[in-house]
Structure 1
Amino acid sequence: MKQIVIHSEYIKLDSFLKLADCVSTGGMAKAVLQEGAVRVNDELEERRGRKLYPGDIIQVEDCGTFQVAAE
């Protein structure tokens, strides 16, 4: 599991996917979410604006498993 460090209280899911190098654009993030390829804390997630906080675990098909970490 890779840790992704954020420098604020939270990060939105679409921004997180770009930061984790799973997608390169917001449009790609939307497509990945619509395909059902993203789980947050073991629950399917389709909202690009979902706020992620330190400790959240994100699983992305064909990309890996990540944990949000505080700075």
Structure 2
Amino acid sequence: MIKFKLEGEFIPLIALLKATDLVQSGGEAQTVVEDGLVKYNGEVDYRKRLKVRIGDKIDFMGNIVEVI
């Protein structure tokens, strides 16, 4: 599990995927979200601009990111 310390109120899902090095670019992040490969708190979510906040968990291909 990857623990990501949030500095502000939220981080966009695509930015979080890039910040945790789960994807290499913003374009790749958009594609994996559009393809339904990302789960937000246990459910597939297709929103690229989703605001991820403290306490949320993101699952991408078995890599779980917990926002703290």
Instruction: Give the TM-score taking structure 2 as reference length.
Output: 0.92
Q: How does 1:1-71 map to 2 (within 5 A)?
A: 1-61=1-61, 64-69=63-68
Unaligned ranges ≥5, structure 2: none
Q: Deviations over 1:22-49 (max 9, x none)?
A: 1121110111112211000011111110
Q: Is the 8 A contact 2:14 2:29 kept in 1?
A: yes
Q: Secondary structure at the match of 1:58?
A: strand
Unaligned ranges ≥5, structure 1: none
Q: How many residues align?
A: 68
d(CA) in 2 for partners of 1:6, 1:53? 8
Higher strand share: 1
- What CA RMSD, in Å, does the superposition of the two structures yield over aligned residues? 1.0
Q: Is the 8 A contact 2:34 2:48 kept in 1?
A: no
Q: Identity, % of aligned pairs? A: 32
